[in-house]
A and B are shown apart, each in its own frame.
Chain A
Amino acid sequence: MISSDLLRCKLDNKSYKIYPILCSLEQNSKDVEIAKQVIQVFEYSYQHGVIKEKLIQSLKGLEQIYKDYKLIRGLAAVLEKRCTFKVISQVHSKDPHHSDSKQPIEILKNFTAMDIRRSVFDESARQNIAVSEQTRKSILEKMSNKLGISNETLSKVMWSDLDENMIIGTFVPISVERLLLSYNVSLIQTLLFSCLKIRIGLGSNLNLGTRWKEVLREVKRLGLMYWLDVVDETTQDSKENMIICSIEGALNVIKLTDRYGSAISKIIPTIIKSERWHLQADILRITNSGKKLVYEFEISEKSYPNSFPSDKTTKMHFENSFYQENESKKDPFPMNKKSHDEYNSKDRKNLNIQEINIENFINNSNVPMLFDSKIEKIFLQKFELFKTGWTIEREPEPIITKQKTAFIPDFVLSKFGNRVFVEIIGFWTKEYLERKITKIFEIVQKKTHDEKFFMILVINLENLMSYELNEEDKITHIKNNRNVLITSYKNDRISFKEILKYIKDIENIYISLNVLNTQNQNKIIQNMIRLVEGFRKSELSCLYLGNLDEMLKKDCTDGDAFLKVSLKELIDKNNDFKFMFENELSKKLLLMIDDYILKTQFIEEIWKDIKNVINLGEACKILDSEKIPEKIQINLLTLLGFHIEWNGLDYSKAKMTLKNSDLSI
């Protein structure tokens, strides 16, 4: 991004339109010439270790020649982002041309510029400062002797950490065309920083590829406040589907304007890459007299033909190099990323990484999914830990509903063919949220009875963009509904309790409605009776519920709702069924302990063997010999009326006492 005072634009005060002055990428244009010159200045400064102050002077020289200081400074701003500046002495070490090179390194191993200044000032203070030039000289001489370096080096190193004395440490080269392209993108980004509203139209016909989805994904990923509309645009040749993505502008929010503004600017490169697009924005300008005027800015893949690569092949070339370059840029700065605490530069780096990720994502599906938002990652990881049985899909396709609206969920949770959309909302205002909810309610109302629609909105409480007394008040204002769950997160903590309850409810509704209608129930019970009878007659000591489940499923026909649920789940989640099931078991003189079905008769036999045993270890040995699974041994003993006194974890040390002497089965 370029600072707003370097924004080049034309205003049309009749129709209130604003046109940014983009550079022309055409050969032999003046812009190309200027870009060449600016690059040369940077390259020369880099190669010759010219200090920053001199670099700026050279640029000023160019400003005087070409008269367009905004362009030159803008280009320089783009280039400066490709440089790191270093203290002179650090670079000396790599540069054999400087004869004096060895000395500063040796000193700087032990002293920084600040250390040297300190010792000089201390000495100067002892001599009651260098009032006369002579005293100055003698103090400096004394100090340089003491440090064992030349006078010259001392004076050089003493101030070497000042910004203007820094020199370029790394410089990532760039071609003229790419510089101009970056500049053009930056200029649009700068312009959009002061926008009230953006409308992005994206052609979503199948033949237009999937780039438009990337744009929407990006909008979502950046947490922007958006809403989508689907429009059919009929042109002469064909019918075209357009998705209109409206984004709240940075000036419409009160808090965190900068952060939101830079988030907006990050979508621009992705938009420009897509096949069919147009962008329309309301830009606020404040006139010299302080009047506020709103101008319209429009750009599409057709306007400004000279400023962006036009035909497909060059476009591809640009893209590729654009990204490769970003990637190569990633490498030279491993240290820098940490040391730069400046918000802007940090942000910038994020941008690049993000772009690389997208590219990787498109080109190579083997690359592990990289998360851009921390909260998404946390959501996925935590959700999987809960083992809900729901599958979670990350970044599904944008969803276009029959009601001509669309949205971009972050996740889709699914089970039994039920789908729950999860949308994480980054930036928000009360109005935005209300609008969003209204829209969802519209969908819910219009949907047919058979259609299912579930949605979870997870709102970032920290990123409230307007001033409210209490954010949580506002959220609860918006009523919860069976179709929508509104929950929140703060400091990366998501309240999963609500989410889990919500999906569990959906599950239960499904089970009681679809699987356990009377017809299905009876069918299952009938089959079960038959199977259990077989077990009763067999020599087996116990029957695993899972095996029973499998056998029951063999009898099912395709599309049977029961196929999607396990028997265990049915029993756990539906009391009616559980009652029926247990009733049938007791009729057959069977007993269910946890996941196993046992014969009453068989238990009575065991009872005889163990009723006088007082050591748990021994009792377990007996049960083992009867092939009772370890898993249910303790429960069985408890059921038989034993009280177990644990002495540590060792079975053999635990004592058993019989509480109820008679068998109460």
Chain B
Amino acid sequence: MIGEQFISPYRLGLTATIEREDGKHVNIYKLVGKIVFSKDFYELSQNNHLAKFRLKKIKVEMLPDEILRYKRRIFQYNQLLKEAKIFYPIRLERLIILSANNSNLRKALLLRNEAVDIALNSYAKIIELEKILKYHTTDKTIIFTIHTKLAYIISDRFLIPVITHRTKNEERNEILEKFKKGLYRIIVTTKVLDEGTDVPDANMGIILSGTGSKREFVQRLGRLLRPKKDVENVANLIEIISSDTSEIFTSNRRNKGISNKKQLIDKSDQ
């Protein structure tokens, strides 16, 4: 929409991520023409323009009481769907539309949200995070969460600075500055640091739950993979996800963005 209103006759587009989840990237070609140059981060990484990285996925089981709460909600959710005579797997968007006029489906939606919330914000992840942090005591680390709430929980638990969309510029700049200087070794953040901001480089990223967008994932990597002075340095990317929950689907989708670079992942793992 905005792009269509540009009056400039010549346009140049520059992006790290051309594909979009909604498939709307075809519109971009209409606006700026075809891709004239591309270089993916695999190549950049090979040529040492970007630091090499290692991806590690850690599945954690939810804590027993969380599993109980989770399952109870999923059960009720399924029950409500059955009552509403919905036997097929329903897309979330459709459910939201239907729930506007149906109080039972509305309840189902709320249950679903709660269940997802339990899985995404599982305390097991915090325990796992504690283990990782105990092991990596010198790495410059950025922790990503999708939910603001979890970011604050982590900040409060480990007493590390947090940046979210709510953080005021003054505080945000101060934290980033201190992180750059090395006064802070670890910060926790949400989606806000994904795009557009100049984030000081780090050599470890930890993802706790994500939205499952390829684009977002690549961008997060891009933030981490800054060239380092010592070539030896290999960036770590650790993803913590809950197993046996709907969240797994989200994570698989997310990895599509780098699936064709699997070799690199394997190689660096060796």
Interface residues of A (CB under 8 A from B): 64, 67-70, 114, 117-118, 120-125, 128-132, 136, 139-140, 155, 158-159, 162-163, 288, 467, 469
Q: Which residues of B contact A467 (CB under 8 A)?
A: 5
For residues 125 through 173 of chain B, which have their beta carbon under 8 Å from a beta carbon of chain A? 130, 133-134, 137, 152, 156-161, 166, 168, 170-171
Query: For residue B170, which residue of chain A has the nearest CB?
Result: A114
Q: How far is the CA of A132 from the CA of B129 in the complex (A)?
A: 11
A274 → B minimal CB distance (Å): 34
Q: A64-B107, A131-B134 are in contact. Are A159 and B156 (CB under 8 A)?
A: yes
Q: How far is the CA of A322 from the CA of B186 in the complex (A)?
A: 53
Q: Which residues of A contact B161 (CB under 8 A)?
A: 117, 121
Q: Could you list some 10 contacts between A and B, CB below 8 A?
A: A64-B107, A70-B100, A125-B160, A125-B178, A130-B157, A136-B157, A159-B156, A162-B152, A162-B166, A288-B97
Q: Is A125 touching B158 in the complex (CB atoms < 8 A)?
A: no
B162 → A minimal CB distance (Å): 9
Q: How far is the CA of A288 from the CA of B96 in the complex (A)?
A: 11
Q: Which residues of B contact A124 (CB under 8 A)?
A: 158-160
Q: Which residues of A contact B159 (CB under 8 A)?
A: 120-121, 123-124, 129-130, 136, 139-140
B161 → A minimal CB distance (Å): 5
Q: Is B7 touching A469 in the complex (CB atoms < 8 A)?
A: yes
Besides the known contacts A67-B106, A114-B168, 18 further A-B residue pairs in the complex with CB atoms under 8 A apart: A64-B107, A70-B100, A121-B184, A122-B183, A124-B158, A124-B159, A125-B184, A129-B185, A129-B186, A130-B157, A130-B159, A132-B130, A139-B159, A140-B159, A155-B156, A158-B156, A159-B156, A162-B166
Query: For residue A164, which residue of chain B has the nearest CB?
Result: B149
Q: Is B103 an interface residue (CB 8 A)?
A: yes
A500 → B minimal CB distance (Å): 36
Q: Which residues of A contact B185 (CB under 8 A)?
A: 125, 128-129
Q: Which residues of A contact B183 (CB under 8 A)?
A: 122, 125
Identify which of B103, B158, B160, B178 contacts A67 (C-beta below 8 A).
B103
A179 → B minimal CB distance (Å): 23
Q: Is B152 touching A159 in the complex (CB atoms < 8 A)?
A: yes
Q: How far is the CA of A155 from the CA of B152 in the complex (A)?
A: 13
Q: How far is the CA of A467 from the CA of B158 in the complex (A)?
A: 52
Query: For residue A113, which residue of chain B has the nearest CB?
Result: B171
Q: Is B174 an interface residue (CB 8 A)?
A: yes
Q: Which residues of A contact B107 (CB under 8 A)?
A: 64
Q: Which residues of B contact A469 (CB under 8 A)?
A: 7
Query: For residue B161, which residue of chain A has the nearest CB?
Result: A121
For residues 79 through 115 of chain B, which have their beta carbon under 8 Å from a beta carbon of chain A? 97, 100, 103, 106-107
Q: Is A121 touching B156 in the complex (CB atoms < 8 A)?
A: no
Q: Which residues of B contact A131 (CB under 8 A)?
A: 130, 133-134, 158
Q: How far is the CA of A95 from the CA of B157 in the complex (A)?
A: 30
Interface residues of B (CB under 8 A from A): 5, 7, 97, 100, 103, 106-107, 130, 133-134, 137, 152, 156-161, 166, 168, 170-171, 174, 178, 183-186
Identify which of A118, A123, A129, A288 contacts B133 (C-beta below 8 A).
A129
Q: Is A121 touching B130 in the complex (CB atoms < 8 A)?
A: no
Q: Is B184 touching A136 in the complex (CB atoms < 8 A)?
A: no
Query: For residue A126, which residue of chain B has the nearest CB?
Result: B183
Q: Is B133 touching A121 in the complex (CB atoms < 8 A)?
A: no
Q: Which residues of A contact B97 (CB under 8 A)?
A: 288
Query: For residue A288, which residue of chain B has the nearest CB?
Result: B97
B157 → A minimal CB distance (Å): 7
Q: Which residues of A contact B152 (CB under 8 A)?
A: 159, 162
Q: Is B137 touching A128 in the complex (CB atoms < 8 A)?
A: yes
B83 → A minimal CB distance (Å): 15
Q: A121-B160, A121-B161, A159-B152 are in contact. Are A69 and B106 (CB under 8 A)?
A: yes
Q: Which residues of A contact B168 (CB under 8 A)?
A: 114
Q: How far is the CA of A70 from the CA of B106 in the complex (A)?
A: 11
Q: Which residues of B contact A162 (CB under 8 A)?
A: 152, 166
Q: A69-B106, A159-B152 are in contact. Are A129 and B158 (CB under 8 A)?
A: yes
Q: Which residues of B contact A163 (CB under 8 A)?
A: 166
Q: Which residues of A contact B166 (CB under 8 A)?
A: 162-163
Q: Which residues of A contact B106 (CB under 8 A)?
A: 67, 69
Q: Which residues of A contact B5 (CB under 8 A)?
A: 467
Query: For residue B100, which residue of chain A has the nearest CB?
Result: A70
Q: Which residues of B contact A121 (CB under 8 A)?
A: 159-161, 184
Identify which of A69, A129, A132, A158 contacts B160 (C-beta below 8 A).
A129
A35 → B minimal CB distance (Å): 19
B181 → A minimal CB distance (Å): 11
Q: How far is the CA of A591 from the CA of B69 in the complex (A)?
A: 108
Q: How far is the CA of A90 from the CA of B89 in the complex (A)?
A: 50
Q: Which residues of A contact B157 (CB under 8 A)?
A: 130, 136
A374 → B minimal CB distance (Å): 29
Q: How far is the CA of A121 from the CA of B152 in the complex (A)?
A: 13
Q: How far is the CA of A252 from the CA of B198 in the complex (A)?
A: 39
Q: How far is the CA of A155 from the CA of B157 in the complex (A)?
A: 11
B89 → A minimal CB distance (Å): 18
Q: How far is the CA of A124 from the CA of B186 in the complex (A)?
A: 11
Query: For residue A53, which residue of chain B has the nearest CB?
Result: B149
Q: Which residues of B contact A139 (CB under 8 A)?
A: 159
Q: How far is the CA of A70 from the CA of B160 in the complex (A)?
A: 39
4 shortest interchain CB distances as A-B pairs: A124-B159, A67-B103, A130-B159, A121-B161
Q: Which residues of B contact A159 (CB under 8 A)?
A: 152, 156
Q: Which residues of B contact A128 (CB under 8 A)?
A: 137, 185
Identify which of A69, A114, A120, A123 contacts B171 (C-beta below 8 A).
A114
Q: How far is the CA of A243 from the CA of B186 in the complex (A)?
A: 67
Q: Which residues of B contact A158 (CB under 8 A)?
A: 156
A434 → B minimal CB distance (Å): 22
Query: For residue B129, which residue of chain A has the nearest CB?
Result: A131
Q: How far is the CA of A139 from the CA of B161 in the complex (A)?
A: 14
Q: How far is the CA of A158 from the CA of B5 in the complex (A)?
A: 46
Query: For residue B138, which residue of chain A has the nearest CB?
Result: A128
Query: For residue B107, which residue of chain A has the nearest CB?
Result: A64
Q: How far is the CA of A118 from the CA of B158 in the complex (A)?
A: 14
